[in-house]
Structure 1
Amino acid sequence: MPPPSLPAVVMSTASAPAPAVALSPLLIACLAATWIIWGSTYLAIRFALESFPPFFGMGTRFLLAGALLLGWARWRGAAWPERRQWWHALIVGALMVGGGMGGTAYAEQSVGSGLVVAFIAIIPLMITLLNRLWGVRPAPGELAGIAVGLCGVLLLTRGAGFAASPVGLLAIVIACLTWSLGSVLSQRRLPLAAGAMGFASEMLGGGAVLLVLAALSGEQPQWPTPLAAGAWLYLVVFGSLIAFNAYMMLLALAPAGLASSYTFVNPLIAMLLGVALGGETITHYEWFAAGIILTGVVLLLYGRRDH
């Protein structure tokens, strides 16, 4: 699962200069987890799709991960979320996990994982625009990043991968919009329970919504192949549990800019893995478009840091 929204994290520390941080072995391990594991989850989703339909596969993944995280949080003494917080978790989970991750998996049925994650790099730009509804005005540098990023997305959608699958393009657009909206609502209107309990309740709510979507769409899971089963377990353990906790550790120990560096590393990792291990084809034009998107994200980060 992709992490909490980047702009909100950076915004909370925008007025303070980034302190110098020594890259301890712990920080290096956490960075490796957010860069490599999150970047590899998109290829793992594609492998899991061999046996698990998109909504069923993602729904069961997040239900199991949410249950494990909830049990761990309770064992550590965390209080149960209040009823209001459960409702918030259901709404946010429906948008971020149901729409965001469900739409991503659906898109990967017809679009390469590397191209999907290159498109997903636009999410920080979308969140910045949505925050405008709550009076958060982008700085000039952020506006430049948004403009450059949107140009990159326009170029990417005209490439061979998305042009061959209008349905896949629509699915990933919906995924990015719902993920961005859920991120902003969780920050502005629908706060979750604190800590791991809030994330667990969001995964449980989103997983339940995905299983409802799977039933409504008539998905029929198959007996999993070894590759699909291994990919699904990888998503549960490494994607939904280890990488997220590594990200939270980074937020506690490192500047937000360093913690958020996954935003422009994940697309490169995913595209390289898709070509090397998934047999995907990415044209020079699509690599160029992805580079434009990542340039926009870097400009956005730099513009917010100086705001």
Structure 2
Amino acid sequence: MQTAIPQPPKWQIYLAFAAIYVIWGSTYLGIRFTNESIPPFLMSGMRFVIAGSCLYLYARIVNKAPAPTWPNIKAAAMVGFLLILIGNGGVAYAELTIPSSIAALLIATSPVWFVLLGWLFFGNARPNSKVISGLVLGLAGMVVLIGPGQLTGHALDMLGLGIIVFSTIGWTVGSLYSSVSKTLAPPLIHTALQMLAGGIFLLLMATLRGEVANFHVEQVSLKSWLAFGYLIVFGSLVGFNAYSWLIRVVPPSQASTYAYVNPLVAVILGWLFGGEAITWQMLLAGAFILPGVILILRAKAKNPKPEVVPEEVT
């Protein structure tokens, strides 16, 4: 049984919110920078194997966590396959052709998929009128964003857009599976195991795609190395652990507000540092998606039934 955490000082809560708002919003641009000279599946695989190994050693040595059982490992492998390989690996691959800001906007629809798939397949509550309104707005925003490029004058890569949508659905299924699995290890160990398992799956995918054989470390740019280190330290270790702590000390619906703050951060950073344009099509899509997500999250906050909260590691 998990021990309750005493209510921490407000400044610690604010700092954790700042971490998931800014850090997770910045990881989309970080992935784009690593993609410039490191293949996407290889980069993501190395990132999560390193982060998962560090977290596992910390949990076992510092926190004295017990060793995982075989059922713990199997459950973490399933979650790692869905969250890390499909969810994160798919986004990294799609960002070869899709701007990081647009990827973040599409991923902001994750609460839409949580409501729909949780209701249809995992026994969650039927959506009420406010949630349905949020679903309609969120899906309308997706249609605007991935539709033909009449508003921008040029079409986006449809395969990349489709991969991001598929990755978001994979992430949702993995998170929902975590919420009903009875064989998960304690939180830190489970997080480390899913990172390790997902990282191994990503490295296998990188090998199958020829990324390992064709990779030349001397060709990696300094910018890609710096972004890679940032993703490991801040995106995986600091950001995810800040979120894991936050959802234990504040209502989950408050913690999940990152779902509509991250895209704003990603769009601004992509414009400032990545040379990405802010188009009317993006603004129009955001005007549908973000209010829709807010409606869903606020409706869930008033629902006494326990929530499933998206825990996306970007």
1:298 corresponding residue in structure 2: 294
1:249 partnered with 2:249: no
* Equivalent residues in 2 for 1:121-132, closer than 5 Å: 121-132=108-119
Equivalent residue number for residue 221 of structure 1: 215
Letter in 1 for 2:296: L
Residue 54 (structure 1) aligned to one of 27, 40, 45 = 40
Q: What letter is aligned with 2:73?
A: W
**Matches of 2:228 and 2:114 in 1, distance apart?**
29
Aligned-pair Cα RMSD in Å:
1.7
C-alpha offsets along residues 31-60 of structure 1, whole Å, 9 cap, x if unaligned?
Answer: 110000000000000001112111000000
Matches of 1:280 and 1:190 in 2, distance apart?
44
What are the ranges of 5 or more consecutive residues in structure 2 without an aligned counterpart? 1-6, 304-314
Rounded to whole Å, the distance in 2 between the matches of 1:134 and 1:66 is 28
Compute the displacement of 1:23 (Å).
7.4
Segments of structure 1 that go 5 or more residues without pairing to the other structure are 1-20
Q: Are residue 67 (structure 1) and residue 53 (structure 2) matched?
A: yes
TM superposition shift of 1:159: 5.8
2:251 is the counterpart of 1:264: no
TM-score, normalised by the number of residues in structure 2: 0.87
Residues 101, 117 of structure 1: alpha-carbon distance in 2 compared, 3 angstrom cutoff: same
Deviation above 6 Å: which 4+ runs of structure 1? none
Give CA-to-partner distance per residue, 1:153-178, whole Å, 9 cap, x none.
11111264893311211211221111
1:39 corresponds in structure 2 to 25
1:150 deviation in Å? Answer: 0.5
Q: Higher mean Cα deviation, 280-289 or 162-171?
A: 162-171
Paired AA for residue 77 in structure 1: K
Give, in whole Å, the separation in 1 of the partners of 2:78 and 2:156. 33
Distance in 2 of aligned mates of 1:260 and 1:288: 23
**One-letter code of the match for 1:176?**
T
Residue number in structure 2 paired with 1:8:
none
Confirm or deny: 8 A CA contact 2:45 2:202 kept in the other structure: yes
**Partner AA of 1:142 in structure 2:** V
Q: Is the 8 A contact 1:92 1:190 kept in 2?
A: no
1:141 touches 1:304 (CA, 8 Å); kept in 2? Answer: no
| Deviation, structure 1 residue 138 | 2.0
- For residues 1-307 of structure 1, the aligned pairs below 5 Å read 24-75=10-61, 76-132=63-119, 133-136=121-124, 137-158=126-147, 160=149, 163-189=155-181, 191-219=183-211, 220-223=214-217, 224-307=220-303
TM-superposed deviation, 1:300: 0.2
Structure 1: distance between partners of 2:183 and 2:34: 32
Query: Deviation at 1:256?
Result: 2.2
Q: Larger deviation: 285-294 or 51-60? A: 285-294
The alpha-carbon distance between structure 1 residues 227 and 181, as it changes in their structure 2 partners (threshold 3 A), is: same
TM value normalised by structure 1: 0.89
Matched residue, 1:9 = none
Within 2, Cα distance between the matches of 1:265 and 1:172?
A: 18
Shift of 1:22: 9.6
- Tell me the amino acid that sits aligned with residue 141 of structure 2: G
SS at structure 2 position matched to 1:163: coil
Segment drifting more, 36-45 vs 275-284 = 275-284
- CA distances 1:2-30 after superposition (whole Å, capped 9, x unpaired): xxxxxxxxxxxxxxxxxxx9972211211
SS at match of 1:193: coil
